[in-house]
Amino acid sequence: MIADLQRPFDVGIVMTTVIRPSITQAVRSVFAQQFGGRIQILIGIDQWKGERALLMSLIAEAPSNVAITVIDLGYSTSRRHGGPYPSHYGGALKTILSFAANARHVAYLDDDNWYAPDHVASMLEAVAGKAWGFSLRHMVERQTGATICPDTWESLGPGRGIYAEAQGGFVDTNCYLLDAQACYDVFPEWAMTRVGGTGGDRQVLKLLAGRPWGTNGRHSVYYRAKLIGAHPYLLWCYRCAGVDLAQFMPPEAIPGEDVWRQCAEFDRAKAARGDAPAPAGDGNAANAPSGGSPAASPAET
C-alpha cells in the first residue's frame, strides 16, 4: 500500500457499495490499469451486505501505486434506508467521496461494473485542459457478465443518443471523469436526486454540458445491463445493433413482430425529420412506441 497518502493522487475513483461479490471484478479492474501514476480508490459503504473479509482481501491485493480509502459511516445516508438524502444509490456517499478524494481528477465506478485496462490513462489524456470528460461503454449481461455489444444509442454524451432531444443527452456515472476544481459544484447532485431516488447522472450532465469537455472515444467501461423488463425500444436498439436477444432473454420476454414494426416506423419517422436511427448514435425516444417513453429514465445503478 502507498504510505504517503497526503501527496495528491493522479486520479481518485469513487465507489459506493454494499459489498456485493461483483466488487472483486470492479476493484481488480482498477488494479489492472495500464497506468503508472498514483490511483486512489475511495470505497464508501452504504450498507454491509457482503463479507468484510472480501474487502480486506482486496485491500491486501492493491498494487504499489494504488491506495484504497474506506469510508464506513456505520449507517446509510439514503432516504430509502432511513437516511436524509433522496438518492437510492448511496445517499450522500458519492458526494462525500467526491469531495474527499485527494486528487484533481475524480472518476466513478459502480461495484458491479469494470474498466478496460486503458480506461484511466486514456481518460486523463482526454480531459487535459478540459473541465470534464467521458468514455463510451460496452453493455454486459447483468448475471453472466457476457459482453453484449457496444452502447451506440444511450450513453453518448451531450446532445447525442436517444435522450438527446428530451434531456440533452446522457452520460452514465461510470463513464465520467471530472476535474474536481472545475466541477465541484456538481457533486451535490449525486445526493439530491429529484426524480424519486434516481436521476443524478442526468442532473450532473445538465450542469456540465456547457463546460469544455473531452472524450477518449473508446468503449472502455463495461456496464451490466438488465434486458428483461427493459423498454421495448431499448431492446429494439440492441436488435438494430445486431444482438440476438434470444441469447440473453427467454422467448416470452422478447417483444413480438408487431412491436418491432412499431419501432421501425418510429425510426422511419425520425429519419424523415432528419434524425438518425438510434443505433447510429442520435435521435429522440421521447415518443417511442409500446410502453411509454424510455427518455424519462435512462439506466442508472
List the domain boundaries for the chain. Answer: 11-136+172-223
Classify 217 in phi/psi space as left (phi over 0), alpha (psi -120 to 50) or beta: left
Q: pLDDT tens digit string along 104-121? A: 999 999 999 999 999 999
Task: State how far Cα 185 lies from the chain centre.
Answer: 19
Q: pLDDT tens digit string along 136-183? A: 999 999 999 999 999 999 999 999 999 998 889 999 999 999 999 999
**Whole-number pLDDT of residue 198:** 79
**Whole-number pLDDT of residue 195:** 72
DSSP code string of 111-167? TT-EE-TTHHHHHHHHTTTSSEEEEEEEEEETTT--EEEE--SSS-EET-STBHHHH
**Whole-number pLDDT of residue 159:** 94
User: Nearest-CA neighbor of 9 among 38, 30, 43, 34?
Assistant: 38
Mean pLDDT of 194-199: 74
**Whole-number pLDDT of residue 1:** 55
Q: Which CATH class is domain 11-136+172-223?
A: alpha beta
User: Nearest-CA neighbor of 238 among 255, 219, 220?
Assistant: 255
pLDDT-based confidence at residue 51 (cuts at 50, 70, 90): confident
Reported pTM: 0.90
Residues shown for the chain: 301
Q: Where are the beta strands (DSSP E) in the chain?
A: 11-17, 39-45, 66-71, 105-108, 114-115, 132-141, 147-150, 157-158, 169-170, 176-179, 213-225
Q: pLDDT tens digit string along 253-301? A: 999 999 999 999 999 988 887 665 444 333 333 344 444 445 444 444 4
Q: Cα separation of 225 and 138, whole Å?
A: 10
Mean per-residue pLDDT of the chain: 89
**Whole-number pLDDT of residue 292:** 43
Amino acid identity of residue 20, one-letter, is: R
**Whole-number pLDDT of residue 298:** 46
> Containing H/E element for 54?
helix 52-61
